Amino acid sequence: MGVIPFSAIPLIPDGDDARRWAERELADPVYRITEPTFFDRASRAVWEFLRGLFSTDVSGGWGATLAVIGGIVVVVLIVVAFAVWGLPRSTRRSPAPRSTLFGDAEERTADELRAAAASHAARGEWDEAVVLRFRALARGLVERGIVETPPGATVHAFARAAARVFPSSADDLESAARAFDDVRYLRRPGSEALFQRVAAVDDAIAGSRPLATREVPA
pLDDT in tens, 73-96: 666 777 666 666 555 544 444 444
Rounded Cα distance, 115 and 108, in Å: 10
Give the number of other CB atoms < 10 A from CB of residue 34: 6
pTM assigned to the model? 0.56
Per domain, the residue ranges of the chain are 31-91, 100-206
pLDDT in tens, 142-181: 999 999 988 888 999 999 999 999 999 999 999 999 999 9
210 sits in the region (left: phi over 0; alpha: psi -120 to 50; else beta) called beta
